[in-house]
A and B are shown apart, each in its own frame.
Chain A
Amino acid sequence: MGCGTYIGLGLSALGTGAQMASRAQEKGAMEDAVKAQMAKQKQYQQEAASVYQKNLQRQGEAPATANVQKGANQALQRYQQVQNVPLSLGAVNAPKITTQADKGVTTARQGMSNEQQAALQGYGDWLQGLQLGNVEAGRGLGLVGNMAQGWANLLPSQLQDAQQSYAGLESLGGLMQGAGSALGMWNATQPLGASTPLSMQNPATWYDVPRMTPMTSTSLWG
């Protein structure tokens, strides 16, 4: 083999090395892209969890009891407000409750009825609060989901980008390999000179195998 062969082999080895380095870099870059994407998704997951937890806190037993009571109180106030509006129209013939005993009975009946109705309304108020909370949480989760999805949609493109970021080095490696092979091939087609290490003596063709001179005692000892 000549000098060209060695250079060719060296070039091929360098090219392979460059290609291997490029693939390792690509792999690292793709892993980085995936890690960055996972970190972003984790951040959105935490945001979503916060929205969900906020809504969940409104749904426990203690807030439910408090909200039912609050709704009942508001309804009771509303009933009293409505019932305190004076009946302004004059009514000459309208029957009126005149005795104190009857008035007391009427007031008591009204109070009891108000309380029962208000208790029912308290549940309505609580359910309304839950529904509004769910709508709000759904809106918040929708937003977070949209943002997370937006970044997730970029992952294929980011991976492709990472893959292509070391394409230059890989191409260079390929070129070096190609050049090395070509040089080796070219070198092999050249007639072998005296400088060849195995001292082939003028072979008839390039595929002639080197012939060994038979060893005899004469040739050994002169």
Chain B
Amino acid sequence: MGCGGGGGGAISQQEQQRQDKIKLGTKQIDSVFSAFNPAFYQKYGQAYQNYALPQLQEQYQNVSNRLGYRLAGQGLGQSSVARNLRQSLSDEMTTQQQNVANQAMQQERDLQSKLANQQSNIVSQLQMSADPNAAAQQALATASQAQASPVFAPLGQAFNSWANIYLAQNQNQMYNQFAQSYLNNLMGFGGNAGALPKI
């Protein structure tokens, strides 16, 4: 161009340098977050399963034993009531196993969303600061935090609902049977006290 000017060129150069730094920082951030691939999330979900399944199995064992004791105590070990209750408990276990798997998948999704948002935040900050080193350090800190051993919430009482419904129902049935037999016996309707169900 003609005489004078030249200040715009320097500003353009500065802007180019800023954008180059942002591009470099973005590459570094992408490189750090590339460790979070499907295999990583699957491993994370597996960790949740490994944590939750033994708890579920223990709870199943407890409720199953309670049911077994109760049915045996009532002499109903081979009855249709026992068969139905076994089936019902088995269904409940299936549901709870699915819940554990669902929770594991949800944990994976939550972590994936969290990391994606954190990556976006770091990129946003990089755009403001144009400091690729700081952005890379922040990305590394986030990554190491995510890769640290996860802390999961313990499994709640998975069979509480089932036990409340079925074991209580079973107990009520037994109580009603006992009360009916007792009344029949008392009023001389031919009841047999020896046949009263044990509770």
Which residues does A use to contact B, with CB under 8 Å?
25, 29, 33, 74-75, 78-79, 81-83, 85, 87-89, 91, 93-97, 102, 105-106, 109-110, 113-114, 117, 121, 124-125, 128, 131-132, 135-136, 138-139, 142-143, 146-147, 150-151, 153-154, 157-158, 160-162, 164-169
Contacts and interface: CB of A to CB of B under 8 A. Distances in A.
A71 to B, nearest CB: 9
Contact of B71 (A75, A95, A105, A158): A95
Nearest to A109: B91
Nearest to B106: A124
Contacts of B181: none
Given A94-B65, A102-B87, A109-B94, A82 B5 contact: no
B12 to A, nearest CB: 6
A87 B8 contact: no
B58 A83 contact: no
A117 B14 CA distance: 56
B90 A106 contact: yes
Interface string B93-121: 01101101110111001001100110110
Nearest to A112: B94
Contacts of B8: 33, 154, 157-158, 160-162
A107 to B, nearest CB: 10
B163 to A, nearest CB: 14
Interface string B1-22: 1111111110110010011001
B22 A143 contact: yes
Question: Could you say which of A125, A138, A165 has the most chain B C-beta atoms within 10 Å of its C-beta?
Answer: A165
B11 A113 contact: no
A119 B42 CA distance: 19
B109 A167 contact: no
The 7 closest A-B pairs by CB, nearest first: A161-B8, A93-B68, A168-B3, A94-B64, A165-B5, A165-B1, A78-B101
Q: Is the interface of A mostly helix, strand, loop or mixed?
A: helix
Contacts of A78: 45, 101, 104-105
Interface size band for B: 35 or more
B101 A75 contact: yes
Nearest to A89: B61
A167 B3 contact: yes
Contact of A147 (B22, B45, B113): B22
Nearest to B100: A82
Contacts of A33: 8
Contact of A143 (B3, B15, B26, B112): B26
A29 B86 CA distance: 88
A205 to B, nearest CB: 46
A87 B77 CA distance: 21
A94 B85 CA distance: 12
A124 B74 CA distance: 45
29 contacts: A25-B2, A78-B45, A82-B53, A91-B68, A93-B69, A94-B61, A94-B67, A95-B85, A95-B86, A106-B87, A110-B90, A113-B91, A117-B102, A125-B109, A128-B109, A135-B116, A135-B120, A139-B123, A142-B120, A142-B123, A143-B127, A146-B127, A150-B19, A151-B15, A160-B8, A161-B7, A161-B8, A162-B5, A165-B3
A157 B3 contact: no
